[in-house]
Amino acid sequence: MTTRFRDREQAGRLLAKLVREYVDETPVVLALPRGGVAVGYELARALDAPLDVMVVRKLGVPWHPELGMGALAEGGALYLNQEVLASTDVSPEEVREVIFDETRELERRVQRYRGGRPLQDVKGRTVVLVDDGLATGGTARAAVRALRSFGARSIILAVPVAAAETAEALREQVDTLVCVQEPENLWAIGTWYDDFHQMSDEEVLVLLDQAQRTVNESPASP
């Protein structure tokens, strides 16, 4: 049965029901901004876990930015889609220029969302990596590479909706993939939501602040 989500919040609540079994692992929830933060907020509440962002930037083909040729994550983890590079004939110099530009935007977002605070320490911990959907999965792949390099013990990739082919491929790269639905024909992630507005930095900051206050008020908080 297919489900059309009202918005990211509802999608997050549905997804949260599928990840509650991991509450005893005291996980860290890392969301891919911007849209993943609204979903991740609901998972963090369900798991009584800290919420942070894992900043990743898609690398778009220079003359067709919506077509992803890879992704870049915090810490320098890089994923390049060799099939897209070959089919579009992007030169190595053009790839370097896109990486340079997106590195600056990545650094801006890290500073904007954290204000100089470091990423949650994930070494030896279970990480629930969250986004609002997976199409080709390029950004998720870069994020997973980064988390492996940071020493995460276990990576649970959780999304409301994912293209079936992408989900199958990513299951080989993470410890667990949790998904509400995996359609054969995804078309676009936004088609699965009634409200799929582009979230602002301000919306992300509000959710991160609310999540932090919830953790601070928790009886288990130090």
- Which DSSP string corresponds to 3-19? --BSSHHHHHHHHHHHH
pLDDT in tens, 141-168: 999 999 999 999 999 999 999 999 999 9
**Structural domains counted in the chain:** 1
3-state helix, strand, coil in the chain (%, to 5): 45, 25, 30
Q: Cis omega (within 30 of 0) on the bond before 45? A: no
112 falls within a domain: no
Which amino acid makes up residue 160? P
Is residue 60 one of the residues assigned to a domain?
A: no
| Cβ-based neighbour number of residue 124 at 10 Å | 9
Q: Does some domain include residue 203?
A: yes
2-61 pLDDT, tens digit each: 679 999 999 999 999 999 999 999 999 999 999 999 999 999 999 999 999 999 999 999
Burial class (CB in 10 A: 0-12, 13-18, 19+), 101: middle
Q: Which residues pair with 59 in a beta bridge?
A: 70
Q: What is the pTM of this model?
A: 0.93
Residue 138's domain spans which residues? 8-55+119-217
Residue 161: CATH number of its domain: 3.40.50.2020
In a domain, 67, yes or no: no
